[in-house]
Amino acid sequence: QQPQDTPIARFQRYLRINTAHPRPDYSSAISFLESQALSINLQVKTLEFSPGKPVLLLTWPGSNPSLPSLLFNSHLDSVPAESSKWTHPPFFAVRSPDGKIFARGAQDDKCIGVQYLEAIRNLKEKNFAPVRTVHVSYVPDEEIGGVNGILKFVASEEFRKLNVGFAMDEGQASPGDEFRVFYADRSPWNLIIKAKGMPGHGSRMYDNSAMENLMKSVEIISRFRESQFDVVKAGEAPNSEVVSVNPVYVKAGIPSPSGFVMNMQPSEAEAGFNIRLPPVADPELVRRRIAEEWAPARRNMTYQVTWRRMTLDEDCTTTGIQVIISPIIELGPLRDYMGRPLTTPTNDSNPWWPIFKQAITAVGGKLAKPEILASTTDARYIRQLGIPVLGFSPMKNTPILLHEHNEFLEDTVYLEGIEVYESIIRSLSSFEESSSY
Protein backbone atom coordinates (compact mmCIF):
# COMPACT_ATOMS: atom_id res chain seq x y z
CA GLN A 1 0.00 0.00 0.00
CA GLN A 2 1.17 3.48 -0.89
CA PRO A 3 1.34 5.74 2.16
CA GLN A 4 -1.23 7.85 0.30
CA ASP A 5 -3.60 4.95 0.25
CA THR A 6 -4.39 4.08 3.82
CA PRO A 7 -7.68 4.91 5.52
CA ILE A 8 -5.95 7.54 7.67
CA ALA A 9 -4.26 9.14 4.65
CA ARG A 10 -7.59 9.30 2.85
CA PHE A 11 -9.19 10.94 5.90
CA GLN A 12 -6.33 13.46 5.97
CA ARG A 13 -6.78 14.22 2.27
CA TYR A 14 -10.44 15.06 2.84
CA LEU A 15 -9.58 17.19 5.88
CA ARG A 16 -7.04 19.18 3.86
CA ILE A 17 -9.72 20.46 1.54
CA ASN A 18 -10.82 23.78 2.98
CA THR A 19 -14.59 23.63 3.05
CA ALA A 20 -14.94 26.22 5.78
CA HIS A 21 -17.34 29.09 5.45
CA PRO A 22 -17.51 31.73 4.14
CA ARG A 23 -15.88 30.23 1.01
CA PRO A 24 -16.16 26.46 1.17
CA ASP A 25 -14.31 24.67 -1.64
CA TYR A 26 -17.13 22.33 -2.52
CA SER A 27 -15.81 21.35 -5.92
CA SER A 28 -12.54 19.94 -4.57
CA ALA A 29 -14.42 18.06 -1.88
CA ILE A 30 -16.81 16.59 -4.43
CA SER A 31 -13.96 15.57 -6.78
CA PHE A 32 -12.17 13.83 -3.94
CA LEU A 33 -15.25 11.96 -2.76
CA GLU A 34 -16.25 11.12 -6.30
CA SER A 35 -12.86 9.56 -7.03
CA GLN A 36 -13.09 7.55 -3.80
CA ALA A 37 -16.58 6.39 -4.72
CA LEU A 38 -15.54 5.38 -8.23
CA SER A 39 -12.59 3.42 -6.85
CA ILE A 40 -15.06 1.20 -5.00
CA ASN A 41 -17.58 1.03 -7.84
CA LEU A 42 -20.38 3.06 -6.38
CA GLN A 43 -22.83 4.84 -8.64
CA VAL A 44 -22.16 8.56 -8.57
CA LYS A 45 -24.49 11.47 -9.22
CA THR A 46 -23.92 15.16 -8.63
CA LEU A 47 -27.04 17.23 -8.18
CA GLU A 48 -27.10 21.01 -8.15
CA PHE A 49 -30.23 22.60 -6.75
CA SER A 50 -28.55 25.99 -6.24
CA PRO A 51 -25.62 27.27 -8.27
CA GLY A 52 -22.30 26.43 -6.61
CA LYS A 53 -24.00 24.23 -4.01
CA PRO A 54 -23.50 20.66 -5.21
CA VAL A 55 -25.01 17.59 -3.56
CA LEU A 56 -23.13 14.35 -4.12
CA LEU A 57 -25.22 11.20 -4.13
CA LEU A 58 -23.60 7.76 -4.10
CA THR A 59 -25.49 4.53 -4.51
CA TRP A 60 -24.76 0.90 -3.75
CA PRO A 61 -27.69 -0.99 -5.24
CA GLY A 62 -29.25 -3.71 -3.15
CA SER A 63 -30.49 -7.07 -4.39
CA ASN A 64 -34.05 -6.07 -3.59
CA PRO A 65 -34.41 -2.51 -4.81
CA SER A 66 -38.14 -2.53 -4.11
CA LEU A 67 -37.45 -2.29 -0.38
CA PRO A 68 -37.10 1.21 1.12
CA SER A 69 -33.47 2.26 0.98
CA LEU A 70 -30.98 3.53 3.54
CA LEU A 71 -29.39 6.95 3.48
CA PHE A 72 -26.12 7.92 5.16
CA ASN A 73 -25.84 11.68 5.13
CA SER A 74 -23.04 14.08 6.02
CA HIS A 75 -22.32 17.72 5.26
CA LEU A 76 -19.44 18.99 3.17
CA ASP A 77 -19.00 22.32 4.90
CA SER A 78 -17.30 23.37 8.11
CA VAL A 79 -17.37 26.37 10.36
CA PRO A 80 -14.43 28.78 10.02
CA ALA A 81 -11.22 28.29 11.99
CA GLU A 82 -9.02 31.00 13.47
CA SER A 83 -5.69 29.60 12.30
CA SER A 84 -3.57 31.73 14.60
CA LYS A 85 -5.22 30.18 17.65
CA TRP A 86 -4.57 26.58 16.66
CA THR A 87 -1.51 24.59 17.62
CA HIS A 88 -1.47 23.06 14.11
CA PRO A 89 -2.86 24.75 10.99
CA PRO A 90 -6.54 23.75 10.74
CA PHE A 91 -6.32 22.44 7.18
CA PHE A 92 -3.03 20.52 7.42
CA ALA A 93 -4.57 17.53 9.18
CA VAL A 94 -1.36 17.02 11.16
CA ARG A 95 -1.15 13.71 13.02
CA SER A 96 0.63 14.16 16.34
CA PRO A 97 2.92 11.41 17.71
CA ASP A 98 0.10 10.28 19.99
CA GLY A 99 -2.23 9.79 17.05
CA LYS A 100 -4.41 12.88 17.21
CA ILE A 101 -5.41 14.23 13.81
CA PHE A 102 -5.94 17.98 14.07
CA ALA A 103 -8.23 19.65 11.58
CA ARG A 104 -11.34 21.72 11.28
CA GLY A 105 -13.99 19.14 10.43
CA ALA A 106 -12.16 16.21 12.05
CA GLN A 107 -15.19 15.65 14.31
CA ASP A 108 -17.77 17.80 12.54
CA ASP A 109 -18.30 15.95 10.34
CA LYS A 110 -15.74 14.86 7.79
CA CYS A 111 -14.94 11.76 9.83
CA ILE A 112 -18.29 10.16 9.11
CA GLY A 113 -18.22 11.22 5.45
CA VAL A 114 -15.14 9.08 4.74
CA GLN A 115 -15.94 6.39 7.31
CA TYR A 116 -19.11 5.59 5.34
CA LEU A 117 -16.94 5.01 2.26
CA GLU A 118 -14.30 3.00 4.10
CA ALA A 119 -16.98 0.79 5.61
CA ILE A 120 -18.46 0.14 2.17
CA ARG A 121 -14.99 -0.52 0.78
CA ASN A 122 -14.38 -3.14 3.46
CA LEU A 123 -17.80 -4.75 3.04
CA LYS A 124 -17.22 -5.01 -0.71
CA GLU A 125 -13.83 -6.59 -0.14
CA LYS A 126 -15.56 -9.17 2.03
CA ASN A 127 -18.02 -9.79 -0.82
CA PHE A 128 -20.94 -8.60 1.23
CA ALA A 129 -24.00 -7.76 -0.87
CA PRO A 130 -26.75 -5.55 0.54
CA VAL A 131 -30.40 -6.48 0.19
CA ARG A 132 -31.52 -2.90 0.54
CA THR A 133 -30.03 -0.16 -1.55
CA VAL A 134 -27.57 2.01 0.35
CA HIS A 135 -27.26 5.71 -0.52
CA VAL A 136 -24.60 8.07 0.77
CA SER A 137 -25.18 11.81 0.44
CA TYR A 138 -22.87 14.79 0.88
CA VAL A 139 -24.65 18.10 1.20
CA PRO A 140 -23.48 21.73 1.32
CA ASP A 141 -24.36 24.49 3.77
CA GLU A 142 -25.42 22.55 6.88
CA GLU A 143 -23.56 25.01 9.07
CA ILE A 144 -25.55 27.91 7.68
CA GLY A 145 -28.97 26.34 7.88
CA GLY A 146 -29.17 23.91 4.97
CA VAL A 147 -31.62 25.91 2.89
CA ASN A 148 -29.56 25.57 -0.30
CA GLY A 149 -28.37 22.12 0.69
CA ILE A 150 -30.35 19.36 2.34
CA LEU A 151 -33.63 21.28 2.23
CA LYS A 152 -33.66 21.52 -1.56
CA PHE A 153 -32.42 17.95 -1.78
CA VAL A 154 -35.19 16.48 0.38
CA ALA A 155 -37.77 18.57 -1.46
CA SER A 156 -36.65 17.18 -4.82
CA GLU A 157 -38.12 14.51 -7.06
CA GLU A 158 -34.71 12.79 -7.00
CA PHE A 159 -34.97 12.39 -3.25
CA ARG A 160 -38.53 11.07 -3.44
CA LYS A 161 -37.40 8.45 -5.91
CA LEU A 162 -34.75 7.17 -3.50
CA ASN A 163 -37.59 5.81 -1.35
CA VAL A 164 -35.57 6.24 1.83
CA GLY A 165 -36.84 4.14 4.73
CA PHE A 166 -34.23 5.04 7.32
CA ALA A 167 -31.41 7.56 7.50
CA MET A 168 -28.38 8.34 9.57
CA ASP A 169 -26.72 11.70 10.05
CA GLU A 170 -24.04 13.18 12.28
CA GLY A 171 -24.05 13.03 16.07
CA GLN A 172 -21.51 14.27 18.60
CA ALA A 173 -18.40 12.92 20.29
CA SER A 174 -18.70 11.04 23.56
CA PRO A 175 -16.20 11.79 26.33
CA GLY A 176 -17.08 8.47 27.96
CA ASP A 177 -16.84 4.86 26.94
CA GLU A 178 -20.31 4.64 25.37
CA PHE A 179 -21.40 5.76 21.93
CA ARG A 180 -24.02 8.48 21.89
CA VAL A 181 -27.07 8.43 19.66
CA PHE A 182 -29.51 11.27 18.99
CA TYR A 183 -33.21 11.02 18.15
CA ALA A 184 -34.03 14.72 17.79
CA ASP A 185 -32.39 18.10 17.41
CA ARG A 186 -33.38 21.22 19.25
CA SER A 187 -34.88 24.00 17.15
CA PRO A 188 -32.86 27.16 16.73
CA TRP A 189 -34.56 30.54 17.06
CA ASN A 190 -32.90 33.88 16.58
CA LEU A 191 -34.28 36.59 18.83
CA ILE A 192 -33.61 40.28 18.39
CA ILE A 193 -35.00 42.68 20.97
CA LYS A 194 -34.99 46.40 20.46
CA ALA A 195 -35.57 49.23 22.88
CA LYS A 196 -36.36 52.80 22.05
CA GLY A 197 -36.38 55.85 24.29
CA MET A 198 -35.74 59.55 24.28
CA PRO A 199 -32.09 60.48 24.01
CA GLY A 200 -30.72 62.60 26.80
CA HIS A 201 -27.62 64.18 28.29
CA GLY A 202 -25.11 61.67 29.62
CA SER A 203 -25.28 63.24 33.04
CA ARG A 204 -29.01 62.84 33.60
CA MET A 205 -30.94 60.19 35.50
CA TYR A 206 -34.31 59.58 33.91
CA ASP A 207 -36.76 56.74 33.36
CA ASN A 208 -37.31 54.72 30.21
CA SER A 209 -34.10 55.37 28.37
CA ALA A 210 -33.47 52.87 25.59
CA MET A 211 -30.44 51.49 27.42
CA GLU A 212 -32.29 51.13 30.69
CA ASN A 213 -35.12 49.27 29.01
CA LEU A 214 -32.78 46.98 27.14
CA MET A 215 -30.71 46.26 30.24
CA LYS A 216 -33.83 45.33 32.20
CA SER A 217 -34.67 42.80 29.52
CA VAL A 218 -31.15 41.47 29.51
CA GLU A 219 -31.42 40.92 33.28
CA ILE A 220 -34.77 39.15 32.96
CA ILE A 221 -33.47 36.95 30.16
CA SER A 222 -30.33 36.18 32.17
CA ARG A 223 -32.48 35.07 35.10
CA PHE A 224 -34.45 32.75 32.83
CA ARG A 225 -31.18 31.43 31.41
CA GLU A 226 -29.93 30.78 34.92
CA SER A 227 -33.13 28.97 35.92
CA GLN A 228 -32.73 26.62 32.97
CA PHE A 229 -29.03 26.19 33.63
CA ASP A 230 -29.77 25.38 37.30
CA VAL A 231 -31.93 22.48 36.18
CA VAL A 232 -28.97 21.19 34.19
CA LYS A 233 -26.49 21.80 37.00
CA ALA A 234 -28.73 19.96 39.45
CA GLY A 235 -28.65 17.00 37.10
CA GLU A 236 -32.41 17.12 36.58
CA ALA A 237 -32.18 17.35 32.80
CA PRO A 238 -29.43 17.29 30.23
CA ASN A 239 -28.41 20.50 28.54
CA SER A 240 -30.31 19.51 25.41
CA GLU A 241 -33.67 19.16 27.20
CA VAL A 242 -33.96 22.70 28.51
CA VAL A 243 -34.52 25.93 26.64
CA SER A 244 -31.17 27.64 26.19
CA VAL A 245 -30.88 31.34 25.51
CA ASN A 246 -27.48 32.89 24.99
CA PRO A 247 -26.65 36.50 24.17
CA VAL A 248 -24.72 36.82 20.92
CA TYR A 249 -24.52 40.56 20.41
CA VAL A 250 -25.47 43.94 21.81
CA LYS A 251 -25.65 47.04 19.71
CA ALA A 252 -26.08 50.53 21.09
CA GLY A 253 -24.45 53.91 21.34
CA ILE A 254 -23.92 56.75 18.92
CA PRO A 255 -20.73 56.24 16.93
CA SER A 256 -18.23 59.07 16.69
CA PRO A 257 -14.88 59.21 14.89
CA SER A 258 -13.08 58.36 18.11
CA GLY A 259 -15.44 55.62 19.25
CA PHE A 260 -18.78 56.57 20.74
CA VAL A 261 -20.41 59.80 21.79
CA MET A 262 -19.91 59.61 25.52
CA ASN A 263 -22.19 62.35 26.77
CA MET A 264 -25.40 61.20 25.17
CA GLN A 265 -27.70 58.39 26.19
CA PRO A 266 -28.79 56.75 22.93
CA SER A 267 -32.37 56.56 21.67
CA GLU A 268 -32.04 52.99 20.43
CA ALA A 269 -30.45 49.82 21.72
CA GLU A 270 -30.73 46.21 20.68
CA ALA A 271 -29.49 42.75 21.60
CA GLY A 272 -29.48 39.39 19.86
CA PHE A 273 -29.94 35.98 21.42
CA ASN A 274 -29.58 32.43 20.20
CA ILE A 275 -32.41 30.30 21.58
CA ARG A 276 -32.71 26.51 21.33
CA LEU A 277 -35.98 24.72 21.99
CA PRO A 278 -36.19 21.04 22.85
CA PRO A 279 -39.18 19.04 21.58
CA VAL A 280 -40.83 19.19 25.02
CA ALA A 281 -40.91 22.99 25.15
CA ASP A 282 -44.10 24.65 23.97
CA PRO A 283 -43.05 27.20 21.34
CA GLU A 284 -46.13 29.32 21.97
CA LEU A 285 -45.28 29.65 25.66
CA VAL A 286 -41.78 30.76 24.82
CA ARG A 287 -43.10 33.26 22.33
CA ARG A 288 -45.50 34.66 24.96
CA ARG A 289 -42.70 34.94 27.48
CA ILE A 290 -40.73 36.98 24.95
CA ALA A 291 -43.70 39.23 24.21
CA GLU A 292 -44.76 39.74 27.83
CA GLU A 293 -41.51 39.67 29.80
CA TRP A 294 -38.48 39.98 27.56
CA ALA A 295 -39.62 42.66 25.16
CA PRO A 296 -42.85 44.16 26.48
CA ALA A 297 -44.38 47.02 24.59
CA ARG A 298 -44.94 48.81 27.90
CA ARG A 299 -41.18 49.21 28.16
CA ASN A 300 -40.97 50.53 24.61
CA MET A 301 -39.60 47.25 23.36
CA THR A 302 -40.16 45.34 20.15
CA TYR A 303 -38.91 41.94 19.18
CA GLN A 304 -38.36 39.70 16.25
CA VAL A 305 -38.06 35.93 16.41
CA THR A 306 -36.85 34.14 13.35
CA TRP A 307 -36.94 30.42 13.00
CA ARG A 308 -36.67 28.12 10.09
CA ARG A 309 -39.64 26.24 8.87
CA MET A 310 -39.01 22.96 7.17
CA THR A 311 -40.12 24.43 3.89
CA LEU A 312 -38.48 26.07 0.96
CA ASP A 313 -39.44 29.55 1.94
CA GLU A 314 -37.79 32.42 3.68
CA ASP A 315 -37.19 32.11 7.38
CA CYS A 316 -40.33 32.79 9.33
CA THR A 317 -40.41 35.84 11.48
CA THR A 318 -42.67 36.74 14.34
CA THR A 319 -42.81 40.43 14.92
CA GLY A 320 -45.09 41.34 17.74
CA ILE A 321 -48.11 39.19 16.97
CA GLN A 322 -47.65 38.94 13.25
CA VAL A 323 -46.20 35.79 11.76
CA ILE A 324 -44.69 36.24 8.34
CA ILE A 325 -44.56 33.08 6.29
CA SER A 326 -44.65 32.39 2.61
CA PRO A 327 -44.58 28.67 1.93
CA ILE A 328 -43.49 27.44 -1.46
CA ILE A 329 -43.17 23.74 -0.85
CA GLU A 330 -44.64 21.95 2.13
CA LEU A 331 -42.67 18.90 3.13
CA GLY A 332 -45.49 17.05 4.73
CA PRO A 333 -47.87 18.01 7.49
CA LEU A 334 -47.00 21.19 9.30
CA ARG A 335 -45.94 19.58 12.54
CA ASP A 336 -43.20 22.08 13.06
CA TYR A 337 -45.21 25.11 14.05
CA MET A 338 -42.60 27.64 15.11
CA GLY A 339 -39.99 24.99 14.66
CA ARG A 340 -41.11 22.37 17.14
CA PRO A 341 -38.62 19.54 16.60
CA LEU A 342 -39.65 16.10 15.43
CA THR A 343 -38.41 12.97 17.13
CA THR A 344 -37.48 9.50 15.94
CA PRO A 345 -38.68 6.74 18.29
CA THR A 346 -35.93 4.79 20.00
CA ASN A 347 -38.02 1.82 20.99
CA ASP A 348 -39.45 -1.21 19.23
CA SER A 349 -42.17 0.88 17.57
CA ASN A 350 -39.35 1.85 15.23
CA PRO A 351 -38.24 -1.38 13.51
CA TRP A 352 -34.85 0.12 12.69
CA TRP A 353 -34.00 0.80 16.31
CA PRO A 354 -33.33 -2.77 17.50
CA ILE A 355 -31.30 -3.43 14.37
CA PHE A 356 -29.16 -0.37 14.92
CA LYS A 357 -28.67 -1.26 18.57
CA GLN A 358 -27.71 -4.81 17.80
CA ALA A 359 -25.24 -3.61 15.16
CA ILE A 360 -23.42 -1.62 17.84
CA THR A 361 -23.30 -4.46 20.36
CA ALA A 362 -22.17 -6.86 17.62
CA VAL A 363 -18.86 -4.98 17.46
CA GLY A 364 -18.53 -4.79 21.23
CA GLY A 365 -19.85 -1.24 21.50
CA LYS A 366 -22.01 0.14 24.26
CA LEU A 367 -24.73 2.64 23.58
CA ALA A 368 -25.60 5.48 25.94
CA LYS A 369 -29.22 6.39 26.60
CA PRO A 370 -30.57 8.06 23.44
CA GLU A 371 -30.41 11.83 23.60
CA ILE A 372 -31.68 14.99 22.03
CA LEU A 373 -28.91 16.88 20.29
CA ALA A 374 -28.23 20.28 21.85
CA SER A 375 -27.45 21.81 18.48
CA THR A 376 -29.14 21.38 15.14
CA THR A 377 -28.34 19.24 12.11
CA ASP A 378 -29.75 18.48 8.69
CA ALA A 379 -31.51 15.46 10.17
CA ARG A 380 -34.48 17.62 11.08
CA TYR A 381 -35.35 18.15 7.43
CA ILE A 382 -35.30 14.42 6.74
CA ARG A 383 -37.42 13.72 9.83
CA GLN A 384 -39.92 16.22 8.50
CA LEU A 385 -40.65 13.79 5.66
CA GLY A 386 -41.66 11.18 8.22
CA ILE A 387 -38.40 9.26 7.75
CA PRO A 388 -36.77 8.02 10.98
CA VAL A 389 -33.26 9.44 11.41
CA LEU A 390 -30.65 8.75 14.06
CA GLY A 391 -27.77 11.13 14.68
CA PHE A 392 -24.61 9.19 15.29
CA SER A 393 -20.86 9.81 15.03
CA PRO A 394 -18.83 6.89 16.38
CA MET A 395 -16.35 8.81 18.56
CA LYS A 396 -16.04 7.55 22.11
CA ASN A 397 -13.45 8.55 24.69
CA THR A 398 -13.20 11.79 22.74
CA PRO A 399 -13.67 15.35 23.99
CA ILE A 400 -16.46 17.28 22.28
CA LEU A 401 -14.61 19.77 20.09
CA LEU A 402 -17.04 20.75 17.38
CA HIS A 403 -16.64 24.41 16.41
CA GLU A 404 -13.72 24.79 18.87
CA HIS A 405 -10.03 25.53 18.37
CA ASN A 406 -7.78 22.47 17.91
CA GLU A 407 -10.56 20.14 16.84
CA PHE A 408 -9.07 16.66 16.56
CA LEU A 409 -9.92 12.99 16.31
CA GLU A 410 -7.66 10.16 17.34
CA ASP A 411 -6.58 7.76 14.61
CA THR A 412 -7.63 4.69 16.60
CA VAL A 413 -11.06 6.19 17.24
CA TYR A 414 -11.42 6.97 13.55
CA LEU A 415 -10.46 3.43 12.54
CA GLU A 416 -12.79 1.86 15.08
CA GLY A 417 -15.60 4.00 13.68
CA ILE A 418 -15.13 2.36 10.30
CA GLU A 419 -15.77 -1.05 11.88
CA VAL A 420 -18.82 0.30 13.62
CA TYR A 421 -20.26 1.53 10.32
CA GLU A 422 -19.43 -1.78 8.67
CA SER A 423 -21.61 -3.45 11.25
CA ILE A 424 -24.36 -0.85 10.93
CA ILE A 425 -24.48 -0.95 7.13
CA ARG A 426 -24.31 -4.74 7.14
CA SER A 427 -27.21 -5.08 9.59
CA LEU A 428 -29.49 -2.38 8.26
CA SER A 429 -29.04 -3.32 4.62
CA SER A 430 -29.76 -6.98 5.38
CA PHE A 431 -33.05 -6.16 7.09
CA GLU A 432 -35.59 -7.73 4.78
CA GLU A 433 -38.90 -6.86 6.35
CA SER A 434 -40.82 -4.37 4.33
CA SER A 435 -42.98 -3.31 7.26
CA SER A 436 -42.64 0.40 7.38
CA TYR A 437 -42.15 2.74 10.23
Ligand X SMILES: CSCC[C@H](NC=O)C(=O)O
Binding residues: 75, 108, 143, 170, 403
Residue 112 burial (CB count, 10 A): 26
The number of residues making up the chain comes to 437
In the stretch 118-157, what mask flags binding to ligand X with x, by CB under 6 A? Answer: -------------------------x-x------------
> Per the annotation, where are the binding residues for Zn(2+)?
75, 108, 143, 170, 403
**Between helices 7-15 and 411-430, what is the axis angle to 10°?**
100
Return d(Cα 416, Cα 3) in angstroms, integer. 20
In the stretch 181-200, what mask flags binding to ligand X with x, by CB under 6 A? Answer: -------x------------
CA-nearest of 427, 383, 163, 193 to 296 is 193
Asked if omega into 25 is within 30° of 0 (cis), the reply is no
Q: Which of 109, 270 has the CB closer to Zn ion?
A: 109
In the stretch 308-327, what mask flags binding to ligand X with x, by CB under 6 A? Answer: x-------------------
Catalytic residues: 77, 142
Tell me which stretch binds ligand X (CB under 6 A): 84-92, 213-221, 255-263, 370-378: 370-378
Residue 218 burial (CB count, 10 A): 18
Q: Phi and psi dihedrals of 343, rounded to 5?
A: -120, 150
- Residue 302 in 3-state DSSP? strand
**∠ CA 120-123-124, rounded to 5°:** 85
Q: Which of 183, 294 has the CB closer to Zn ion?
A: 183
| H or E element, residue 57 | strand 53-60
Q: Which of 108, 141 has the CB closer to Zn ion?
A: 108
Out of 172, 376, 398, 429, point to the residue binding ligand X (CB under 6 A): 376
Q: Name the binder of 145 from ligand X, Zn ion, none, CB < 5-8 A by kind.
A: ligand X
- Residue 359 in 3-state DSSP? helix
Return d(Cα 149, Cα 163) in angstroms, integer. 19
Residues numbered 98-127 forming contacts with Zn ion, rule: CB under 5 A: 108-109
Residues that contact Zn ion, how many (by CB under 5 A):
3
Q: Which of 109, 371 has the CB closer to Zn ion?
A: 109
- Which residues are at the interface with ligand X (CB under 6 A)? 143, 145, 188, 308, 375-377
| Residues found near Zn ion in the complex (CB under 5 A) | 108-109, 170
